[in-house]
Chain A
Amino acid sequence: MKVKFPTHCPSCEEVLSVTHLQCQHCETVVQGNYPLPIFLKLTPKEQEFILQFFLASGSLKEMAAQQGISYPTVRNQLDDMIQHIKDLKI
């Protein structure tokens, strides 16, 4: 079963941070307060888009052909993601 990575608090919907890291080998635990990287703050769909964009060597046309949609649709998805990332950085 693929477990969904939680990025937002189920109670107040604020962005979560990492406070606990554990070595799976020796079980050493590190505690602190680390903010999530931008990539992990994106939705699974957006993360998948970035991965596909990378695998298609950054070609939106190739991505469109692979997904069976048009170039403007893929470009709009990218523009929406850029805006989302800009909003997250603020």
Chain B
Amino acid sequence: MKKLLNPIEFYNDRKLLRTNLVIFIIGTLLAIFMKAVFGSPIDLHFEDTLVPTESIVGNIVAILTMTIVLLAAGKIINKKTRFIDCLNLALYIRIPYYILLLWNITGTFSNMKPTSSDDSRVIVDLPTATLDMIILGSFSILAIMVLVLKGIIIYLSFKTITNSKKTSDYLILIVFIIISIIASYIISRYI
């Protein structure tokens, strides 16, 4: 469990990067087929049609912004912070999101895509089938769990990457993460 929550503490950086890149390719392909788009490092939404470019670009932008944020915050705290460790962490924390993608296997979320009516009203077709309700409910619980898990992984791994010991170190990271969420959302909207 400890190794899963903080792989950077235990595994060789290059081996971890190779594994993360393989998972990244599988996850991106899965995102394409599940019609998923990542708007920011914490955003995940589903489209009603296949949008391969948006799925790929969204995932890459989310990873790169997170890497830059971790590196920038890390360099402020400890000058010895390395790019490869930040990239590994940014890639690794995507894994729980790839698991979440499977919840759209029946197309529940794609079918809920809001549409605009003639009088500018936004219409959302909410599911009524029992299976869809189960999918929606379980997704909500799992999404919260994934966010908590991401927080724990970032906290533990960032501690290893930068050798942080003070509360102010984590405050720097939190501020940078908030900036990254806003920045990557803006970037992915304009690419």
B59 to chain A, nearest CB (A): 25
A75 with B9: CB separation less than 8 A: no
Q: Which residue of A lies closest to B159 (CB)?
A: A76
B82 with A72: CB separation less than 8 A: yes
B163 with A80: CB separation less than 8 A: yes
> Which chain A residues (64-85) contact chain B, with CB distance < 8 Å?
64-65, 68-73, 75-76, 79-80
Q: Which residue of B lies closest to A76 (CB)?
A: B163
**B6-31 interface code vs A (CB 8 A; 1 in, 0 out):** 00111111001000000000000000
12 CB contacts below 8 A, A to B, read: A65-B12, A69-B9, A69-B10, A70-B9, A70-B12, A70-B160, A72-B9, A72-B13, A72-B163, A75-B163, A76-B160, A76-B163
Interface residues, chain A, with chain B CB atoms under 8 Å away:
64-65, 68-73, 75-76, 79-80
Which residues of chain B are near A64, meaning CB under 8 Å?
Answer: 12
Interface residues, chain B, with chain A CB atoms under 8 Å away:
8-13, 16, 80, 82, 85, 160-161, 163
A contact face: mostly helix, strand, loop, or mixed: helix
B154 to chain A, nearest CB (A): 15
A75 to chain B, nearest CB (A): 7
B3 to chain A, nearest CB (A): 10
Which residues of chain B are near A75, meaning CB under 8 Å?
Answer: 80, 163
A69 to chain B, nearest CB (A): 6
